[in-house]
Amino acid sequence: MTPENNAGSETVTITVPDDCARERLDKFLGNLDNLKLSRTKVVKLLSEGLVLVNGAVVAGKFVLTGGETIEITVPPRTVTEIIGEDIPIDIIYEDEHLAVVNKQAGLVTHPAVGNRSGTLVNALVHHFGKLSEQAGSDRPGIVHRLDKNTSGLLVIARDDETYVALQQAIQSRELKRTYHALICGHVQEEHGLIDLPIGRSTRNRTRMAITSVKGRESVTEYQLLKRYRSYDLLEVSLHTGRTHQIRVHFSHLGHPVFGDPDYGGREKWHKGMFAPERPLARKLFGVFDRQALHAKKLEFVHPATGEAMSFESDLPEDFHNLLAMLDEEGA
């Protein structure tokens, strides 16, 4: 695709400074202050052939030498009107630049096909009005997302500069996200690092899978908090932020997140468990109808003030009751 094929697009021409030699193209593009391109936007432009280096299409991992001419064709932004809705949400911090929200399970993060209303974004627009649209006009303010049935903390960008800075913090792993997860079975080591690439499943395009074909680097760290008879409670830290990362990694290891219907954490894993344990599993499913995953802690440096920010969220009532039942059963 070339700039001539994009009516209404803006073409920007840049000469790479010599001091940017040995820098990857995708990182160089993400650091352009005048364009303020998000990581998602950079990936999209590269994949659609809208970035030319010396007249040629190259991959995002292309290493610059300095002096190259880069042509960037930025298509006109598609505007999607988001209607604010008075949906109750738990805002635990806000200032003029950003906010931190404790999302309840069952709430979709942003509109998509089949979910144009009733989302966290609809609630955010109602509460804040103007938010950064760097991630797209259908995802105002969204820096990172949580699955519908995952509860916990999200940081929201209220302006473009904050969005870009927070995205860079995620890329450099300076924005830290910590989860609590109840997994099926037991991990071999009390502390471990899972480094397996994740990409779109070829069998089911709505799911992700471990794959070396177009799989992206995905790193998950975990620490055992408590061992039950048939389950482990883990503290999990994301070093990268792939879709369904925690759920996919532990499912691949044979330890799906408890209650996860997509990656084997409900009926599939429990069919093979020790028979006397199955009645308790059915009892647990009766009181807990989602995956046992909660985004518990969020740490980052405030882009505007430089202040170290740290937020922690208590386990929601359903998760707390699940663990209490395991304690009561001596399981």
Give the Cα separation of 122 and 139 in Å (integer). 9
Per the annotation, the verdict on 147 as an active-site residue is yes
φ, ψ of residue 5 in degrees (nearest 5): -90, 5
Give the Cα separation of 180 and 234 in Å (integer). 6
Give the Cα separation of 109 and 248 in Å (integer). 19
Which of 138, 147, 159, 260 is flagged as catalytic? 147
The residues near 26 (Cβ < 8 Å, ≥ 6 apart) are 39, 42, 43, 46, 60, 61
Nearest to 249 by CA among 259, 236, 231: 236
Structure tokens at 187: 């991990």
Structure tokens at 18: 């010599």
Per-residue b/e over 174-210, b at no fewer than 16 CB within 10 Å? ebebbbbbbbbbebeeeeeebebbbbbeeeeeeebbb
Positions annotated as catalytic residues are 147
